[in-house]
Structure 1
Amino acid sequence: MGLSLSKSSAKQFSAALVLASSIWGVLPLTALAQSQVTSTVPGTEVDPAEYNIFLDTGDPLVVSVTVNVPLEAAPSKLDLFLLEDLSGSFANDLPIIRNLVPNLISEITALVPDTQFGVGSFIDKPINPFGSAFNGDYVYQTELALTSNQASFQSAINGLSTGSGVDVPEAQLEALLQTGVRGASEIGFRSDAFSVVVLSTDAVFHQAGDGVSAGILTPNDGDADLEGTPPGTAEDYPSVEQVKQALQAANVVPIFAVTSSVRSTYEDLVSKLGFGSVVTLSSDSSNLVNAISTGLSDIFTNISLIAVGDDFGYVKSINPPSFADVAPGESVVFDVTFTSDGSGSDDTLRLVAAGFGETVANIDVLDEDGGSGGVTVPEPASILGLLAFGGLGATRLRQRQ
């Protein structure tokens, strides 16, 4: 339906439109229907701690996340969880590892006095062709929850014994997944500690899809229940993505202490995870203490930022994805680009700097009418029209006066 104006009114409207256009040129961008940060909550090691964001369809928004590395060369608290491969090939390593425990405790507590130690283990699914229930194989066990009791740690290592494992790959991914999902409860990672899992192995890993060899077709559900009889035989191995999500959710950083024959496999895994470190383990594990120290030095100075829980794919890029060799006391800045294609809903996601902290991003999606959560942001054309009619009214009012 068209707008009908007299010649006089048309002239007045035209003048008002010119006025509106000039005002339009100086309007702040926040008056428009555009993607924008509405508020932030300051953070400490990771800043800000929280972003509240409006996203308009097709309008990218870039925000910054700063990670401030403490002045100390190491964190004030460390939770170190050893995840041991107890398949048959590690039988000769166990006596050496037991003797290394005092040196490991001394080395790590000299670096971080407030360190807790824990132990977990894995072999493989106790079903052919992966493993054997008869030989005591299993997918995962927590041998010792995190503790500052050094005698308990030594005792837990002393009590380890190997099983068999029938094929070459083992259940490393399932063990990592369980470490993540059991982290806060069963294992006891502290929320204010730098949490690390050190996985020691000389073998490659099974992953999602391998279960079909044993007739296991049910996908892994990513929880702490090892379904089946024997446990872990009712569902497939997890995917790398499931492991990534579990470790990120628990804020646990992996160190892979692996023999040289499989190092490239785990370097590829770290690349897919987006965080973690790979160190070379000697064939008899005699360099375990040095390997762990090297891995810790690596993850204390290499910082990555990863989006967790981004259900609608709002995070389009993180630039750069990581920083290497960050010195104590330095700060690094990540630029995160958010974009909505209009198909998603309001969401909350996390931008995690593993081991350092996170930024929570609360996303409100602006629809085509400029509305979100009861808040209306006028479209540019609407603003221009309102200004024009406002200018027209003001012109008429001056004429009456």
Structure 2
Amino acid sequence: MVMKAVVIVTFLLHCVGQRQILGQEPLCQSLPSCSECIRSPGCAWCTQTGFLKSGESNERRCDTPESLKTRSCKEDYVINPVKHPKTYMKNNDLSSDAENVVQLKPQNVKIKLRVGVPYEFNIEFKRAQGYPIDLYYLMDLSYSMKDDLEQIKTLGQKILRKLKEITQTVRIGFGSFVDKEMLPYVSQVKAKRQNPCPNRIDTCQPAFSFQNVLPLTDNAKEFENEVSKQKISGNLDSPEAGLDAIMQAAVCKDKIKWGDVTRILVYTSDDTFHMAGDGRLAGVFQPHNGQCHLNDKGSYDGKSYDYPSVGHLSRVLQDNNIQLIFAVTEGIYPAYKALSALIPQSVVGVLKNDSSNVVDLISEAYGNLSSTLVLEQEGAPEELHVSYRSNCKGNQADTKWKEKGECKGIKHEKVEFQVRLNVTKCLMKPQTFRIKMQGISEEVKVNVDTVCDCDCDPPEESSQHCNGTGTLSCGVCSCKGGYLGQHCECEQKDMNSTLTMMPSCRPDNHSQICTGNGICECGKCVCHGQYNGEYCQCDDSSCERHDNKLCNGKGSCKCGTCLCEEDYTGTACDCSPSTDKCEGKMGLCSGQGECICNQCKCKDGFRGDHCSVFINVCTRFKDCVACYVDKFSEAVCAKRCWNAKIVHLEGTHELQCTYKDTNSYVVELGSKGEILLQYAELPRSIDKTTVIIGSSVSSIIVIGIVIIIIYRVLLELYDIREYQNFVKAQKQTEWKEVQNPLFQGATTTVLNPLHVQDDE
């Protein structure tokens, strides 16, 4: 039974917390002591003596502040720690002064929280202009990077010159890596160990895991001199010891000489990297311990520890506020892009095969890093939930609370982050956690404590309010042994005296003591929680609710029954005497319903706030139209038409509804809510198929005739033109016989004597 009660209480507290997260007012769970009460969100405690009625338990002192006020608890006696005491331990203004740079405000704050009651405060950030930069160049010296090394040897001045466009204070350093000095990564053959180049023409230096060549310096010439001394190296497998090198460059702060400034680590390579677990190939099982292992010469052989994991490396980089730039060739870009997604404050750029674009790449990558702000907490206790809302440039504020504060595209403008703290249970002691900006060494220290005890007057021993037999504290009597009651007024001599008092706590001989809602003390019922009455039979919080308000807020709950006020009626006082919500343009409920509890209850066939909308109007009045079209009697049609006023329109009209494709009708409400039905004959429809076919055939015939006419006209014109050309040609022709030898006369004349006639 006890376990069941604990489960129920836990569930209720969880529900309370959920309501609080959703932004609703928390429900108060009445508890028997002041300290327990104020640990319940939404609860306050009344210390006023004489506040409780006879038979009420101390739990009734724990209620919402509004309810305590309604029950006549004076404001001075209400303990309700709603204000969160906040103290700024350090709150320096933002500054870009080189002697006193402040980019994050406040720097240290102390806050007291109440369980389940969120508290919000603001953090400001502005990136300081000209903030110093430390850049450490970490290069892969495996044989495939041979041409890249020649480029890097002359880059010192270029890199410094580019970074001085951002800030005047810049330091640069150089480190290199190959792989662990053991099989199967590096050949152990003596000749190959001394010269691991793949051919005998080149000379390479022996392989190494990491070498700190030049600690951070502001001397570009020194950078170029040291780098110019470097020789290429080589190893057996493709992946390199890049993660090993990054780890040493991050944790060996003293040997690298990192300053308390913006720290940038540039990593260049043309191949992939070994990860945690790969060391087992060489028999190295010891996980990396995250410590610096450089020898006096600044070298690390990597033989004792496995490669670091990505998660371990990410945490180390964050702890040391190092921003990582991967400058890698295009072929391995996807692998490093995936790696960058797991490491905050890191970006990836594509490096040309000879590293000729490395200066521009570093400048662009640093711009991308510095324009993204990510605010997050470290070391917050489990009981504390921290969330953020970002107000970035252009007043583009988040509307939802998120696990991190984030802004993008920021240069040097000031941004604000709203931080919300919500503690789920009391802390054993004050605790401190940090809120940090990724890549920035500054932080906000937040010291949190919880308000879990009541600040009451000192306890009054042998108080007169407790009949001199108890101690008064926070309005409650703690009785001495053998005394009971609200005022310690009842002396419990023995068990028999207790048994003789029990019948007076039962309404009859067969019922439970105090109806199961209280305990019997001194022959009177002391009720639990919200129960009251002579036998704890009443519950003043069990009345019906309306709009999530007890008795609709228009009455009081007495023993489970709403006592309504202001002429309100109903079991939940939800029935208003007013009719204003029932009034519409067509009168009270449009004449098609009744106004009950200031709400229209519509007749069958109507709906809406004022019963002004028909339900399935065409179907409902179809029989009515049929009755008039088929000319039934008025008495028959009146029943079918819901007493509607019928109007027959002459001519053809297209209305809202149709009947048998020959009649149309419309139904609407008149100005006084009466039903008006108008019907008319539908316009004769035209067979669209016939029209389409006819028009198509006619068009074809007309077009054919036009084409024939045009053809005949053109042909006739052509014949006329040819005839005219012929006539013209004839007129222009001249036949000159003298010029044509065919038409010359005969030169010899022959006479036939037989035909010679006698002239005589």
Once residues 141 and 104 of structure 1 are traced to their aligned partners in structure 2, the CA distance between those partners, rounded to angstroms, is 21
Displacement of 1:158 after TM fit? 1.0
Alignment of 1:5-16 (within 5 A): 11=53
Alignment of 1:379-398 (within 5 A): 387-389=474-476
Once residues 474 and 425 of structure 2 are traced to their aligned partners in structure 1, the CA distance between those partners, rounded to angstroms, is 30
Residue equivalent to 2:445: 361
| CA separation of 1:140 and 1:40: change in aligned 2, threshold 3 A | same
Give 1:29's match in structure 2, choosing from 73, 82, 94: 82
Residue equivalent to 1:298: 368
- Does residue 209 of structure 1 match 2:277? yes
Give 1:187's match in structure 2, choosing from 230, 248, 256: 256
| CA separation of 1:296 and 1:219: change in aligned 2, threshold 3 A | same
Once residues 177 and 316 of structure 1 are traced to their aligned partners in structure 2, the CA distance between those partners, rounded to angstroms, is 30
- Does residue 286 of structure 1 match 2:356? yes
Give 2:170's match in structure 1, choosing from 98, 115, 121: 115
- Does residue 46 of structure 1 match 2:101? no
Displacement of 1:124 after TM fit? 1.4
* 2:154–2:224 CA contact under 8 A, matched in 1: no
* 1:274–1:306 CA contact under 8 A, matched in 2: no
Residue equivalent to 2:519: none
Once residues 21 and 313 of structure 1 are traced to their aligned partners in structure 2, the CA distance between those partners, rounded to angstroms, is 34
Displacement of 1:360 after TM fit? 3.9
Matched letter for residue 241 of structure 1? G
Residue equivalent to 1:267: 337
Cα deviation code 1:120-173 (max 9, x no counterpart)? 111111122223462422222211111111211111221222221322221222
Residue equivalent to 1:333: 417
Give 1:232's match in structure 2, choosing from 293, 302, 305: 302
Displacement of 1:289 after TM fit? 0.8
| CA separation of 1:230 and 1:188: change in aligned 2, threshold 3 A | closer
* 1:249–1:308 CA contact under 8 A, matched in 2: no
Once residues 311 and 215 of structure 1 are traced to their aligned partners in structure 2, the CA distance between those partners, rounded to angstroms, is 40
* 1:301–1:324 CA contact under 8 A, matched in 2: yes
Displacement of 1:212 after TM fit? 1.6
Once residues 80 and 269 of structure 2 are traced to their aligned partners in structure 1, the CA distance between those partners, rounded to angstroms, is 62
Give 1:219's match in structure 2, choosing from 287, 312, 319: 287
Once residues 161 and 324 of structure 1 are traced to their aligned partners in structure 2, the CA distance between those partners, rounded to angstroms, is 41
Cα deviation code 1:180-235 (max 9, x no counterpart)? 2112x1111221x21111111122222222212222111111100269x9831111
* 1:63–1:335 CA contact under 8 A, matched in 2: yes
Matched letter for residue 183 of structure 2? N
Once residues 340 and 141 of structure 1 are traced to their aligned partners in structure 2, the CA distance between those partners, rounded to angstroms, is 50
Other structure's SS at 2:443 match:
strand
Cα deviation code 1:273-301 (max 9, x no counterpart)? 22122111111111011101111111221
Cα deviation code 1:81-124 (max 9, x no counterpart)? 11111122111211122133332232222332211111111111
Once residues 358 and 79 of structure 2 are traced to their aligned partners in structure 1, the CA distance between those partners, rounded to angstroms, is 64
Matched letter for residue 53 of structure 2? K
Residue equivalent to 2:218: 148
Residue equivalent to 2:17: none
* 2:264–2:324 CA contact under 8 A, matched in 1: yes
Displacement of 1:12 after TM fit? 7.5
| CA separation of 1:377 and 1:101: change in aligned 2, threshold 3 A | farther
Displacement of 1:339 after TM fit? 5.3
Other structure's SS at 2:170 match:
strand
- Does residue 68 of structure 1 match 2:117? no
TM-score relative to the length of structure 2: 0.43
| CA separation of 1:210 and 1:332: change in aligned 2, threshold 3 A | farther
Once residues 181 and 267 of structure 2 are traced to their aligned partners in structure 1, the CA distance between those partners, rounded to angstroms, is 20
* 1:53–1:361 CA contact under 8 A, matched in 2: no
Computed over aligned residues only, the root mean square deviation of the Cα atoms, in angstroms, reads 3.8
Once residues 334 and 383 of structure 2 are traced to their aligned partners in structure 1, the CA distance between those partners, rounded to angstroms, is 30
5+ residue gaps, structure 2: 1-31, 34-49, 62-67, 95-102, 197-205, 389-401, 457-471, 478-485, 488-760
> Which of these two proteins has the greater Rg computed from alpha carbons?
2
Displacement of 1:332 after TM fit? 4.0
Other structure's SS at 2:311 match:
helix
- Does residue 81 of structure 1 match 2:130? no
Residue equivalent to 1:352: 436
Displacement of 1:66 after TM fit? 2.8
| CA separation of 1:212 and 1:102: change in aligned 2, threshold 3 A | same
| CA separation of 1:40 and 1:103: change in aligned 2, threshold 3 A | same
Greater relative contact order, per chain length (Cα 8 Å cut-off, separation 6+): 1
Matched letter for residue 329 of structure 1? E
| CA separation of 1:223 and 1:37: change in aligned 2, threshold 3 A | farther
Other structure's SS at 2:410 match:
coil
Displacement of 1:389 after TM fit? 4.1
* 2:373–2:407 CA contact under 8 A, matched in 1: yes
Residue equivalent to 1:178: 248
| CA separation of 1:188 and 1:230: change in aligned 2, threshold 3 A | closer
5+ residue gaps, structure 1: 380-384, 394-401
Other structure's SS at 1:112 match:
coil
Other structure's SS at 2:147 match:
coil
User: Relative to structure 2, which stretch is displaced further, 211-220 or 41-50?
Assistant: 41-50
Cα deviation code 1:315-349 (max 9, x no counterpart)? 66553443211032232426465656789986544
* 2:244–2:302 CA contact under 8 A, matched in 1: no
Cα deviation code 1:33-69 (max 9, x no counterpart)? xxx7555522531122123355777776655433212
Cα deviation code 1:356-395 (max 9, x no counterpart)? 34324355565xxx67xxxx5679xxxxx965449x99xx
Displacement of 1:305 after TM fit? 2.4
User: Relative to structure 2, which stretch is displaced further, 10-19 or 162-171?
Assistant: 10-19
Residue equivalent to 2:594: none
| CA separation of 1:143 and 1:40: change in aligned 2, threshold 3 A | same
| CA separation of 1:65 and 1:105: change in aligned 2, threshold 3 A | same
Residue equivalent to 2:236: 166
Matched letter for residue 80 of structure 2? L
* 1:125–1:132 CA contact under 8 A, matched in 2: no
* 1:65–1:335 CA contact under 8 A, matched in 2: yes
* 1:55–1:340 CA contact under 8 A, matched in 2: no
Displacement of 1:265 after TM fit? 2.2
Other structure's SS at 1:350 match:
strand
Residue equivalent to 1:382: none
Once residues 406 and 443 of structure 2 are traced to their aligned partners in structure 1, the CA distance between those partners, rounded to angstroms, is 16
Matched letter for residue 351 of structure 2? L
Percentage of matched positions with identical amino acids: 24
